[in-house]
Amino acid sequence: MMRLSQCHNFHDFRRLARRRLPSPIFYYIVGAADDEATHRRNSASFEHCDLVPSILRGVENVDLSGTVMGQKRVVPFYCSPTALQRLFHHEGERAVAGAASKFGTLFGVSSLGTVALEELRTAHPTPQVYQFYFHKDRGLNRAMLQKAKEAGVEVMMLTVDSITGGNRERDLRTGFSIPFRLTLGGMLQFAIKPMWAINYLTHERFKLPQLDAHIDMSGAALSIGRYFTEMLDPSMNWDDVSEMVQLWGGQFCLKGVMAAADAWRAADIGCTGIVVSNHGGRQLDGSRASFDQLAEIVDCVGDRIDVLMDGGIQRGSHVLKALSLGAKAVGIGRYYLYPLAAAGQPGVERALGLLRAEIERDMKLMGCKAISQLSRDNLRFR
Ligand SMILES: Cc1cc2nc3c(=O)[nH]c(=O)nc-3n(C[C@H](O)[C@H](O)[C@H](O)COP(=O)(O)O)c2cc1C
């Protein structure tokens, strides 16, 4: 039987998560769109980039701290917002926020989160990012912004790469959806993971508090699939977002920017940050890997707004390479979801600790004492 203490990297946590989770849930996390090519390339792209270390520069102490969108962060990575965390482990967002707070970094709360953003805001001092989807009902958008503002959310993050749902064939095969509509095979997979079911059933009822306050998601009234097709607004354009930025009047970030021209326009309408992201390959398959697209975007807008990136991060060296290209912080998704599923908050803490240790070690080996000393001079591309 594998234990948390035997997990030393991304792959170990993934393996443990696979043992603990009913497979329809595990494959919801694993999965990406179509042939999953973008998802694979997100991690593979780091291997086209080699590090050229500097030596003999006195590196006893390494400082990983910095600022992103006006927020102090102790480590250069943050927990990107992801949906449905209490399905993966009964502690859900509470575990992720708690771990992020211990490491002094930002955590994202999804619109499809399973713990209320207000509860998380009061539980921890670390900055909270609230991930927003744009609804057809403008009144609803305004009410949700107002609620987040009152709760003291520091950064608004509008996801712009999900104008329609990605084609996740693994979910089609298992029948994964909220509410559950499992295939017979999918149901069997729940039956053989009774510990998960006991935990799920003996803890607080599953809910989507960010939406429940505004939309009736109870029972089978509205599935998440229908929420996307019926409630969200595919006509969303730059004028709508510009209005939203004004209304928010604080740190505002677009998540899912891939084209340099869009990054430029984001700065024009007053965004203070963008995340170069393809949603972990879960939306447009064939989209370029985030790391491959990062330099172009930093060159275009790096002196106007904070450029962040996510996608495929499995190692400290990946974070280090993205920072060297000019990213102000790097988002992780599956990297914390597998340890969450495997072991709750202790799992996430172990994973974040390993990532921090890897970055610190690699900084020393690179001859860098501070993030500001990382640059493209120490990178070569194949
Ligand atoms: C299971 C899962 C659920 C996600 N849910 C959301 C979400 O609700 N909103 C959002 O903007 N991004 C969501 N994402 C995307 C992540 O925020 C992030 O962009 C992506 O996971 C980064 O890639 P990585 O998993 O390779 O690190 C989700 C990703 C996963 C794996």
Is 279 labeled as catalytic in the residue annotation? yes
pTM score, two decimals? 0.97
CA 43 to ligand 1: nearest atom? 26
Confidence of residue 229 (pLDDT cuts 50, 70, 90): confident
Task: State the pLDDT at residue 368.
Answer: 98
Q: How many whole angstroms from 337 Cα to the centroid of ligand 1?
A: 9
Q: Where would I find the beta strands (DSSP E) of 97-216?
A: 107-109, 128-132, 155-159
Query: Shortest CA distance to 81 belongs to which of 155, 30, 7, 139?
Result: 155
Assess whether pLDDT exceeds 60 at residue 115: yes
Averaged over 158-185, what is the pLDDT? Answer: 89
Assess whether pLDDT exceeds 80 at residue 207: yes
- Report which residue type is found at 380: R
Q: Note the pLDDT tens digit of each residue in 66-101.
A: 999 999 999 999 999 999 999 999 999 999 999 999
Helices (H), 192-237: 194-202, 209-212, 224-226
Q: Note the pLDDT tens digit of each residue in 137-150.
A: 999 999 999 999 99
Task: State the pLDDT at residue 2.
Answer: 79
Q: How many whole angstroms from 40 Cα to the centroid of ligand 1?
A: 15
What is the spatial distance between Cα 38 and Cα 36, in angstroms, rounded to a whole number?
Answer: 6
Residues 267 and 301: beta-carbon distance below 8 Å: yes
Task: State the pLDDT at residue 218.
Answer: 62
The DSSP bridge partners found for residue 131 are 157
Pocket of ligand 1 (CB under 6 A): 28-29, 42, 80-83, 110, 112, 131, 159, 255, 277, 279-280, 282, 310-313, 331-335, 337
Q: How many whole angstroms from 278 Cα to the centroid of ligand 1?
A: 9
Mutate to test the pocket of ligand 1, among 80, 84, 210 (most ligand atoms within 8 A of CB): 80
CA 131 to ligand 1: nearest atom? 11
Task: State the pLDDT at residue 311.
Answer: 98
Averaged over 273-277, what is the pLDDT? Answer: 98
Task: State the pLDDT at residue 309.
Answer: 98
Cβ burial of 68 (10 Å; 0-12, 13-18, 19+) is buried
Q: What is the mean pLDDT of the chain?
A: 95
Percentages helix, strand, coil for the chain (3-state, rounded to 5) are 50, 15, 35
Task: State the pLDDT at residue 228.
Answer: 82
Q: What percent of the chain has pLDDT over 90?
A: 85
